[in-house]
Amino acid sequence: MQRLTRTLFFLALGCLLCEAANPCCSEPCQNRGVCTALGKDSYECDCTRTGYHGQNCTAPEFLTWVKITLKPSPNTVHYLLTHFKAFWNIINNISFLRDGIMRYVLTSRSHFIDSPPTYNVDYGYKSWEAYSNLSYYTRTLPPVSEDCPTPMGVAGKKQLPDAKLLAEKLLMRRQFIPDPQQTSLMFGFFAQHFTHQFFKTDTKRGPAFTLAKGHGVDLNHIYGDNLDRQNKLRLFKDGKLRHQVLNGEVYPPTVKDVGVHMHYPPHVSDSYRFAVGHEAFGLVPGLMMYATIWLREHNRVCDVLKEVHPDWDDERLFQTTRLILTGETIKIVIEDYVQHLSGYHFKLKFDPELLFNQRFQYQNRISSEFNTLYHWHPLMPDTFHIEEMEYNYKQFVFNTSVVTEHGISSLVESFSKQVAGRVAGGRNVPAPILHVAIKSIEESRKMRYQSLNAYRKRFSMKPYSSFEDMTGDKEMAALLEEMYGHVDAVELYPGLLIEKPRQDAIFGETMVEMGAPFSLKGLMGNPICSPEYWKPSTFGGSVGFDIVNTASLQRLVCNNVRGPCPVASFHVTDVKEPDSVIINSSTSHSGGSSINPTVILKERTTEL
């Protein structure tokens, strides 16, 4: 009743603000119902397959009523999964229970993502262009119509607050706020390195467009996003990538040696202009550190396959190794990266066979909202500690010499011990990169995103009823009210960073409940997870399949550094001696060294 009253209020308000307003501006259709305007005065809601009926799709069908009555809130589920460790330890050791819960996690999350895709910035309705044009990011919610009375539809003021003022008052760091989950900088740098393969905004065409052709995990940040770049990075011998050896360890080749384009300022000498798959990875040492590790892993796996298949030619060794590294990446992301983010005592599992009998589509389109919510600028510290050295942003950016001077082992160890910042809760974006957050606000407005509350409803969360409900802080709530006028007018991106965090957590509720479906759908929608691909023969037989199925962050590092293996952890308090890792006898070791501080800069790394 309260939701219906609010809907009718804003519909009436819209009429007062602008007689010619689109009646769908007030978002009258609830529960994923689709609104179609019928002239200026009326509309209809399409409630097909929503589980609801009625004029505004607010009346639940019987089974829907049972489901929503029994279903716990997202915060309740989160509480259960992050407490009662002894209980979850039992569940984790009972295979059929663990598999059943993991299957539910995957399906329940993935079903939030429309597949095939539906909208983009230019088409707020279903069209062939929105479906087929891969140069667009897709959209989860259609953009706010340009003929609406306010930028958020009918709620709030007719003008949004100044982006710079908003960022300075509510996003900029006063004092470093550490993440209570003890997330390490190793995690932050992994986030940037991993997501750059599919968050590749076309800056010439604008924030609605992407340069990423694969819309998912295709490792173009390792191999290049086109055949010409890939060929320049390949050795064309034994399936390997080109490299150089410095002090007995393998590093990426230089731009001068391979002739690929990379973003470096003039002061960087030729010997430190390393060339890798992504042209912006020279920005910070962390990106180049991970690029070096994966380069070594590719060449190591080629040696493993060559030993088992001495008759294979260069092309087959290269292509099969790429599939193996794709599998390794997905397993590490689910079982190390997402596991840490979730804070769950339930142990996540990468097992594509869990979905083989489910309704699931093995395809993915990257959503612009997913791109936007991944601007985790607060993760970054004020300075970066490597061994006995401390680097500020000016010293760290475009300083690839850090990679070779410290070495991969030292960087991994150092950044596994340095805590990252808390993302939610506001006021934790470092001043040196605040301009990136400001630009994120400005680009979000070009995309005409709907409000934070609209996205909460889309992902089955209760909309915030007040600014204080959103922030848990009276001062920030007062500032937001002054800037926006109504809680239903708060923008998506600022809202995600200002939202109160969950107890002892890095994120707020909306970030997790929105981000998890995008992430899991993109990972499990990869072709290698399909029944036709997920078999040993795809990966060169049991040896390659075993590399995928035993992958972990710690193993990845240990297999690709010389000497004692450092602890590689996304969690600072996990610093302990690593479990012994069996390193394949045909491993080709190499060393490297660096880590990235601007993880949160996302794909627009050149802006630092």
Would you please indicate which residues are annotated as catalytic (active-site) residues?
Answer: 196, 374
Q: Where are the alpha helices (DSSP H) in 334-392?
A: 339-342, 368-373
Read off φ and ψ for residue 320, nearest 5 degrees.
-70, -40
Tokens standing for residue 537: 């023969």
Give Cα separations from 134 to 129, 137, 219, 364, 446 (angstroms). Answer: 9, 7, 18, 11, 19
Give the residue among 25, 61, 59 at the shortest CA–CA distance from 43. Answer: 25
Give dist(CA 50, CA 29) in Å, integer. 11
Per-position DSSP letters for 332-385, written without gaps between them: HIIIIIIHHHH--SS-----GGGGTTS---S----BHHHHHHT--GGGS-SSEE
SS3 label, residue 122:
coil
Burial call 194-223: b when 16+ CB within 10 Å, e when fewer:
bbbbbbbbeeeeebbbbbbebbbbbbbbbb
Give dist(CA 518, CA 452) in Å, integer. 16
Rounded to the nearest angstrom, the gap between the alpha carbon of residue 145 and the centroid of all alpha carbons in its chain is 27
Strand boundaries in 136-286, DSSP class E: 244-246, 249-251
Calculated CA dihedral for residues 571, 573, 574, 577, nearest 10 degrees: 140
Calculated CA dihedral for residues 483, 488, 489, 495, nearest 10 degrees: 80
If you ran DSSP here, which 8-state letter would residue 463 be given? P
Give dist(CA 239, CA 414) in Å, integer. 33
SS3 label, residue 19:
coil
HSE, side-chain direction, 13 A CA sphere, residue 409? 13
Residue found under tokens 């989860």: 140
Question: Do 560 and 550 touch, CB atoms closer than 8 A?
Answer: no
Question: Do 50 and 29 touch, CB atoms closer than 8 A?
Answer: no
If you ran DSSP here, which 8-state letter would residue 538 be given? G
Contact partners, residue 586, CB within 8 Å, separation at least 6: 300, 303, 304, 306, 307
HSE, side-chain direction, 13 A CA sphere, residue 552? 20
User: Peptide bond before 116: cis, by omega within 30 degrees of 0?
Assistant: yes
Contacts 24+ apart (CB under 8 A), 265-272: 265/398, 267/398, 268/398, 268/400, 272/400, 272/401, 272/404
Give dist(CA 275, CA 291) in Å, integer. 10
Residue found under tokens 């029944």: 531
Tokens standing for residue 554: 């710690």
